[in-house]
Structures are given as structure tokens and as C-alpha cells.
Amino acid sequence: MRTTVTLSREAADLVDRYSEAQGISKSRAVSDLILLAHPSRSRTKVIDGIMIFEGPDGAKKFGLEDLQRLEDEDF
């Protein structure tokens, strides 16, 4: 969708920095930043009847062994 928006100087600076850092267009940067800021944006899928929650890109993956190790640790 194409639209025109007016951004505050602070928001425009954030878009500029983000687009340059990610090597993406300003349009894509605005879209990405809006989606990143939306708290209900969870990515889930069901595999063999088990709901899997996908973390943000670049997040460290963990498995059952990691959870079992944490259960055994004293806090």
C-alpha cells in the first residue's frame, strides 16, 4: 500500500538510521519498525500438533535439553 505520512524529526531520524543500518529502503524501514513495535505480533505455527512460538530474527534457539538444565539449576 502506498501512502504519504508526516513524521516528527525524531521519528524520521530513527527511520533513516534503521534503514541505513539494515541496508533497506526507508519505506521498508517504516514498515519493519511499526511491526517491531506492535506487541501482539507473535509468530506461531503448529508442528505435529505442538504449537511452536518463533522468536525474533536472530534470537538464540533453545531446546528440551536447555529447559531440563534450567530446571535443575538453583536460583
Per residue in 23-57, pLDDT (tens digit) is 999 999 999 999 888 766 567 888 898 888 877 77
CA angle 59, 17, 7 (to 5 degrees): 110
Measured on CA atoms in the order 19, 24, 27, 32, is the torsion positive or negative? negative
Tell me the domain boundaries of the chain: 9-72
- What are the residues facing 65 on neighbouring strands? none
Residue 63 has pLDDT above 90, yes or no: no
Q: Phi and psi (nearest 5°) for 50? A: -110, 130
What is the C-alpha to C-alpha distance for residues 33 and 11, in angstroms, rounded to an integer? 10
Is the pLDDT reported for residue 75 higher than 90? no
